[in-house]
Amino acid sequence: MRHVVIIAGGSGTRLWPMSRTDRPKQLLPLVSGRSLLELTVRRGEALVDSDRLYICAGESMRAAVLDAGLTDAAHYIGEPQGRDTCAAIALSAAVLSTRDPDAVFGVLTADHLIEPIDRFARTFELGLALVEAQPQRAVVFAITPTYPATGYGYIEQGEVIDGFAPACRVTSFTEKPDEQRACTFIESGRYGWNSGMFVFSARGFLDALGRHQPQIAAGVAEIGRAWGTPQQAEVLERVYPTLPRTSVDFGVMEPLSREPGAPVCAVPLDVSWLDIGSWPALAQILPADERGNRTNALLRTIDSRGVTALSDDPTHTIAAIGCENLIIVRTADATLVVPASQAEKVKTIAGMVDRSVQ
C-alpha cells in the first residue's frame, strides 16, 4: 500500500532569527499566512489519504504539530534527537514495516514550495509505480535546473527505463559543484537538481540500509521490534541518539547507485520548485518593487535596491537609505542585518547567540 512520510526535522538556523528552537521554520506562517509544513501536508494529501500520511520530526515539535491539526499522535514519528535524513527515513521505514510489510512510501520534506500541485502529483505517481513494480528500486526526483546553482546536489540521468519514460537510471550524484562545473552540467542536458524527495519500499530501503549503513539498520530494527509495545519509548530514547549522523544521499543513495542492476532511478520533475532554506530563497516569493526591494511589512527606502526586509509584525516599519542587496529581518527580540551574498553565514551566527535568546 502507498504511504507518504514528511521529514520535518531541520533546525532552520539559516532562517534565524525568525526560526528558533521553540518556533522552527516548518511551523512559521511564511507563505501567505500558511506554514511550510501545512503546505507539504496538502501535497501529501494529493498522493494518499490522510490515514496513510506521516510526519517524522523532532519530539519537541509534537505538541505544536498536533495543536495545528496537521496530523494525529498515531501518525507522528518523533525523533528524540536529530540524526539527519538517513536515520529519519530509516526510522520511518521501520515503523511503516510494522504496520504494512509491503509499504511503498514517498518522502517529502517540509522545506519546499512546489506548484502546481496537480502536476507534482501526476509525476510523483510515476515514482510510486516504479517502486511498486520492483520494490528494490529507489527513486529520486530531479528538478529541471533553471540556473547553475552551486548550493544544490545534481543527479546525472542515464538511459530511460522501459515502460516508465521519462524515468531514467541514475548514473551519478554530485554534491554542490562550483559554478563552472554546474554550467557544464546544465549544458549537457543530462543533469537535474536533487530535490530531496524520494520513493522507497520499506523492505527495499531497510535491505539497502543493512548493506550500506549496518549500524543504523541494526538500531532501527531494534526500535521497530519495540514499536507499539510498552518498551517503545525506552528503546527509542536509548537507541536513536546513538545512530550515525549522515544524509540519505551520502549514506544510501550514492552507494546504492553503484550496485549492479542500477536500482536507483530518477524521475524528472518539471514544476516550480523552491527550497526555502535561506533568506534569499524566501525573498523570491515576495513581490518586488521597481528597484527589486521586497518586504512582508512596511518598507520605506531612499536610493536603495535589492533590499529584502521581513518582520514578524506586518505593521512594523523598516527604513533603508542607500542600501543595496541587503537582508533585514526583525523580530520582537532580535534583528538581523546581512548582505544577501553572505546569507549562508546566518546559521553560524545563530549558533553563536545565547540559547536563551534562541
- 3-state SS, residue 326: strand
- 3-state SS, residue 51: helix
What percent of the chain lies above the pLDDT cut of 70?
Answer: 98
Q: Are strands 53-58 and 76-79 parallel, antiparallel or unpaired?
A: parallel
Euclidean distance between CA atoms 141 and 274, whole angstroms: 14
- Give the residue from 316, 331, 322 showing the smallest Cα distance to 301: 322
Q: Is 193 a residue whose pLDDT tops 70? A: yes
Query: Are 283 and 274 a contacting pair, CB within 8 Å?
Result: no
Q: Is 358 a residue whose pLDDT tops 60? A: no
Residue-wise pLDDT for 28-80, tens only, equals: 888 888 999 999 999 999 999 999 999 999 999 999 999 999 999 999 999 99
Q: Which residues of 331-347 are buried (b: 16+ CB within 10 A; e: fewer)?
A: beeeebebebeebeebb
Euclidean distance between CA atoms 296 and 343, whole angstroms: 18
Q: Is the CA virtual torsion 67, 71, 73, 77 positive or negative?
A: negative
Residue 226 cell numbers, joined: 519495540
**Phi, psi torsion values for 352, nearest 5 degrees:** -85, -20
Residue-wise pLDDT for 282-302, tens only, equals: 999 999 999 999 999 999 999
Confidence (pLDDT) at 357: 44
What percent of the chain lies above the pLDDT cut of 90?
Answer: 85
Delineate the domains of the chain, giving CATH numbers in brackets: 2-275 (3.90.550.10), 279-352 (no CATH)
Residue 187 cell numbers, joined: 549544458
For the chain, where are the alpha helices, taking DSSP H only?
Answer: 36-45, 62-67, 84-99, 117-133, 179-188, 202-212, 214-226, 232-239, 248, 254-257, 279-283, 346-352
Residue-wise pLDDT for 85-143, tens only, equals: 999 999 999 999 999 999 999 999 999 999 999 999 999 999 999 999 999 999 999 99
